[in-house]
Amino acid sequence: DAKTTQPNSMESNEEEPVHLPCNHSTISGTDYIHWYRQLPSQGPEYVIHGLTSNVNNRMASLAIAEDRKSSTLILHRATLRDAAVYYCILSSGNTPLVFGKGTRLSVIA
């Protein structure tokens, strides 16, 4: 399985943008980049995914480097409800999602 590297933890002030990085230098051409987050005492929830182009949805934006060896999840305006563990996952068509330890995001009021 292709591996990802994320910082263990990050901190942000409320109402400021947050950029969560992910390195995936061994990504293959068929790997999609997925982001999930896990709020305290809940199951993971889907945030966003992409292949090559940057993606936007109501929750976040995903910026993918041109060489696809890294990506950044952008929360445009962090709220206290965004405090969670964020997982960056690579997935091709033939394997289930494999979770790492993710980045624990703390949001300060």
43 counts as binding other proteins under rule CB under 8 A: yes
Q: Which two tokens stand for residue 86?
A: 């964020």
* Interatomic CA distance for residues 94 and 77, integer angstroms: 35
* Two structure tokens written together for 56: 């936007």
87 scored as a contact of other proteins (CB under 8 A): yes
To the nearest whole angstrom, how small is the minimum distance from the Cβ of residue 2 to other proteins?
A: 11
For residue 87, what are its two tokens? 């997982």
Half-sphere exposure of 89 (CA within 13 A, CB side): 23
- One of 40, 58, 81, 101 touching other proteins (CB under 8 A): 101
Q: Give the Cα separation of 32 and 49 in Å (integer).
A: 7
Stretch that binds other proteins, among 16-24, 41-49, 58-66, 72-80 (CB under 8 A): 41-49
CB of 42 to other proteins, least distance (A): 6
Name the nearest CA neighbour of 82 among 98, 97, 104: 104
The reply to whether 96 sits near other proteins by the rule CB under 8 A is yes
Residues that bind other proteins (CB under 8 A): 30-32, 36, 41-46, 49, 87, 91-102
